[in-house]
Amino acid sequence: MDVDIKNNIEKVFEGVEEACIKAGRSKEEIKILAVTKTVDVDIIKQIKEYSLFEIGENKPQEIERKYELLKDDFKFHLIGNLQSNKINKIIDKVVMIQSLDSIKLTEALDKRLKIRNMTMDCLIEVNVSNEESKSGFSVTELMDNIEKFSLYENVKIRGLMTMAPFTDDEYRIRKTFEGLYNLKNTINNRHYDFMVMEYLSMGMSHDYKLAIEEGSDIVRIGTSIFGKRNY
C-alpha cells in the first residue's frame, strides 16, 4: 500500500500547530524529528521537501547502513539503546544521542569522545513512569547520580528524553510528560555549571499533542509520517 507522505506530514504540521495554539506556544519552538527506523532511503529522501532535515534511528547498525546515502541531506539522532561496543559505529555520524541511559554508557562515550577530541550533544533518557520494560534512569536514580555528569566533560547534556506508557489513558500520559518537565526545572534550579537542561524530547505519533501541551521541545514522529511498520 502506498503511503501518502505529503498528506501525512501536512496532518502532523496541523497537529503541532493545533497543540501550540492550545498551549499558547509558537510552533517555531517545536522540532519535529522524523523517526525513520525501518524506512527505505528513497522514501526518507521525500521528506526534505517539507523541510524535515533531522531524522531519528534507534539502531546503530541502521545508522551505519543509511549514513552515506543520507548524510548530505539529513542529520541523524540516535534514539535507541546504545551498547558501549557500538559507540564507535555512530560517534562521527550523529548530531545527538537522545538515549543516554546509564552512567556506565556516559563514561564509555566520554572516553571515546576524548580520544577523538570531540564533544557530543546528549539527552538523558528517563523512565518517568517506572515501567519494568523501559530503559532509562528512574527519577531517583538520576537525582542520586546527577553530579557524576560533571566528570564527563565531552558529553554535553542538553536535556531529557522520555517515552510515555503505551496507553489510551490521557491522564497517565500527561503525568509522565509533566514529570519530565518538573525534573528539568528541578535540575536547572540547582544551577550546576556543568549542565543546563534546554530540551525535552517527548511525544510520539499517538501522544505528541499532549507532549507539546506539557512542554515538549522535540517530538519524535514515525508512524504518523511513514505509516504503520513492524518495529
Ligand X SMILES: *Cc1c(COP(=O)(O)O)cnc(C)c1O
| Alpha-carbon span 126 to 137, nearest angstrom | 5
Residue 138 Cβ vs ligand X, minimum distance, rounded to whole Å: 17
Residue 32 Cβ vs ligand X, minimum distance, rounded to whole Å: 11
Q: Pick the closer one to ligand X by CB: 116 or 228.
A: 228
Of 48, 102, 101, 100, the closest CA to residue 75 belongs to 48
Q: Pick the closer one to ligand X by CB: 15 or 222.
A: 222
Q: Pick the closer one to ligand X by CB: 192 or 208.
A: 208
Phi, psi of 44 (to 5 degrees): -55, -40
Q: Enter the DSSP assignment of 95.
A: E
Quick check: helix, strand or coil at residue 19? helix
138-143 long-range contacts, CB within 8 A, separation 24+: 139/179, 139/183, 142/183, 143/186
Burial 114-144 (b: 16+ CB within 10 A, else e): eeeeeebbbbbbbbbbeeeebebbebeebee
Q: Which residues bind ligand X (CB under 6 A)?
A: 35, 37, 58, 79-80, 163, 204-205, 220-224, 231
Residue 114 Cβ vs ligand X, minimum distance, rounded to whole Å: 27
Q: Pick the closer one to ligand X by CB: 58 or 106.
A: 58
Q: Pick the closer one to ligand X by CB: 106 or 216.
A: 216
Residue 193 Cβ vs ligand X, minimum distance, rounded to whole Å: 30
Q: Pick the closer one to ligand X by CB: 99 or 106.
A: 99
- Cβ-closest position to ligand X: 222
Q: Enter the DSSP assignment of 162.
A: -
Residue 226 Cβ vs ligand X, minimum distance, rounded to whole Å: 8
Residue 84 Cβ vs ligand X, minimum distance, rounded to whole Å: 19
- What radius of gyration do the chain's Cα atoms show? 17
Burial label for 51, CB within 10 Å (0-12, 13-18, 19+), is exposed
